[in-house]
Amino acid sequence: MGNDFRFRMTFWGVRGSTPTPQIENLNYGGNTCCLEVRLPNEEVFIFDAGTGVRNLGDSLLEEFPDQKLTLKVFLTHFHWDHIQGIPFFQPLYHAENQVIFHSVAFPEGQYRRCGSNNGLEEALKIQMADPYFPISFDSLPAKKEFIQIDPEPLKFGNLTITPFPLNHPGQTFGYRIESEGAVVVYATDLEHGHKKLDRVLREVSENADLLIFDSQYTPEDYGKHRKWGHSTWLEACRAASDAKVKQLALFHHHPSYDDRKFYQIIQKARGEFENTIGSQEGWSLIL
């Protein structure tokens, strides 16, 4: 592949809440949230580290067997389906690699059980602390950095990453990812109905090439799950239409929705917003 593109985005995990490795889910995928953004210079940015990050890590080691990797990970929040792949992310087990974790800064004093003043570092250590995992996070050989960021644009060469708040239990942020006019908005784990944050989402998504939107529920199922922090395919279509995005990707698939049901959801969604896809493991977009 030549380098005449701005970035390439690949889905490695699209499922919400818990991995679902059943055969009836394998067309769209059963791994939890993970998105890769690759620049023309092969710089890798990772958004969320659910179980999909395991396959991404294995793929990177195979692709670059003799190369020191520097990987930048951006986390939306710390619910298990967004971090549970980290203990199995093989680049962390190679001392020559560097993995730089990013999240919006925690309130002062939050997460102080593992001896760090950095809430991001603390949150990641907890899931691998005894008795939950046999290997501690500190013992992973790769060099690790923990950068708590402000909700302001971050520049990495031509790439700009802008965090924005989402309506979800706990501190949760989406990301606007852009380079030289190409824009992807990653808005997983949000519940519609918060007027201010709904407006923010539409503003950051305006005219985006792709909006990745939490659509865990059907409108019928949503009624039983209000205040759980997730949205519907119908609300995803409304947001995409309001923001005039070029393409909508339904994301964070409900663990109980198999491929057949999800295919039906996509057809309904296309009746509301024509250029809709269902996020699918292995699918890439080159911009």
CATH classification of the domain holding 256: 3.60.15.10
* pLDDT tens digits for range 147-194: 999 999 999 999 999 999 999 998 999 999 999 999 999 999 999 999
The DSSP H or E segment spanning 151 is none
On whether residue 3 sits in a domain, the answer given is: no
CA distances from 230 to 172, 186, 273 (A): 12, 14, 19
Strand 210-214 versus strand 182-187 pairing type: parallel
Q: What is the pLDDT of residue 118?
A: 82
Q: What is the pLDDT of residue 106?
A: 75
Q: What is the pLDDT of residue 105?
A: 87
Amino acid at 115: G
Distance between CA 33 and CA 175 in Å, rounded? 14
Q: What is the pLDDT of residue 218?
A: 98
- Residues 6 or more apart whose CB falls under 8 angstroms from that of 271 comprise none
Instruction: Name the average pLDDT for the chain.
Output: 95
CA dihedral sign, ordered 226, 232, 236, 242: negative
Structure tokens at 15: 């499922």
**Domain ranges, residue 92:** 8-286
pTM higher than 0.85: yes
Residue 286 confidence (pLDDT) above 50: yes
On whether residue 175 sits in a domain, the answer given is: yes
On whether residue 52 sits in a domain, the answer given is: yes
37-51, 105-119, 123-137, 211-225: lowest mean pLDDT where?
105-119
Which residues are bridge partners to 36 per DSSP?
10, 46
Q: What is the pLDDT of residue 110?
A: 59
- Count up the domains in the chain and report the number: 1
Q: What is the pLDDT of residue 128?
A: 95
Q: What is the pLDDT of residue 245?
A: 98
On whether residue 2 sits in a domain, the answer given is: no
Average pLDDT estimate for 209-223:
97
On whether residue 1 sits in a domain, the answer given is: no
On whether residue 215 sits in a domain, the answer given is: yes
